[in-house]
Amino acid sequence: MSTVENASPADDSNPAEAVGIAAQDWATASASPQYRAAVEDLLGALAYGELAAFERLAEDAKLAPTLDDKAELAKMASAEFHHFERLRDRLSAIDVEPTAAMEPFAKGVDDFHRQTAPSDWLEGLVKAYVGDSIASDFYREVASHLDTDTRALVLGVLDDTGHGNFAVEKVRAAIEADPRCGGRLALWARRLMGEALSQAQRVVAERDALSTMLVGGVDGMAAGFDLAAVGEMFTRITKAHTKRMAALGLAA
């Protein structure tokens, strides 16, 4: 969910000096069993994330104060479901059963959403803007090290659904009308930041193929991307979060 204020930390849809896997198409790159397994994990995690986002936005629409707001969230939920369908179809196209690919990530994603259930409309908007954007930042970072075909798909499903600008507009207006809610929402956003980063780190740590790709453990995979680079990646994600907080009118 990228906006002008919500620039992603890595937007390498066309790396200037692509090497290794990043310079190959899927047909070539998928000859590596380790890389294929990493992509299956990545697409499975993304697919379930998009399906959960659809469910959550549809649920959040019930908290909307106006019919226009409800319709806006319904439109965004529809966009998330379309992203899910693209990922599901891609998994099927590369001979991977979509449900099996998503299953390892369902509990983690569901736990995150249970632990960060919003109590009102504004908290729901902040969660969508902050939490979803952190996840998008993480996957964009990963995408810069994927084969050209998979990278195009991943970046495509991370396209802004419009929720970013919508959330910024509504939250800033609410704070202007009642400055007292700013402190509560800032605390909420900081909690979301911690939970979302923990979720991203678990995705890397718990899936061997994906973590191996990120630390450059396979020839040609994520060339030059070592453990220090992974730390730098999370630093960039944190900095992007600070910019989003400012866009919302909240202290980081």
Quickly state the pLDDT bin for 16 (edges 50, 70, 90).
very low
Quickly state the pLDDT bin for 225 (edges 50, 70, 90).
low
Top pLDDT among 3 and 88 is at 88
> What is the number of other CB atoms lying within 10 angstroms of the CB of residue 62?
10
> What is the number of other CB atoms lying within 10 angstroms of the CB of residue 237?
24
Q: Are 102 and 44 in contact (CB under 8 A)?
A: yes
Contacts of 27 (CB under 8 A, 6+ apart): none
CA nearest to 159, candidates 227, 80, 213 = 80
- Evaluate if residue 55 carries a pLDDT over 70: yes
In terms of DSSP H, where are the helices of 117-226?
Answer: 121-126, 132-143, 148-157, 163-177, 181-206, 208-214
- What integer pLDDT is reported at residue 12 of this predicted model? 46
- Evaluate if residue 1 carries a pLDDT over 50: no
- What integer pLDDT is reported at residue 232 of this predicted model? 84
Average pLDDT, the chain: 85
User: CA angle, corner 152, sides to 79 and 24, nearest 5?
Assistant: 160
Cα 140 to Cα 56: distance, rounded to the nearest angstrom = 22
- Evaluate if residue 5 carries a pLDDT over 90: no
Segment 76-96, tens digit of pLDDT: 899 999 999 999 999 999 999
Measured between alpha carbons, how far is residue 1 from residues 7, 178, 236 in Å?
Answer: 9, 26, 16
Contacts of 96 (CB under 8 A, 6+ apart): 40, 43, 44
Instruction: Name which of 5-19, 80-94, 135-149, 211-225 the model is least confident about.
Output: 5-19
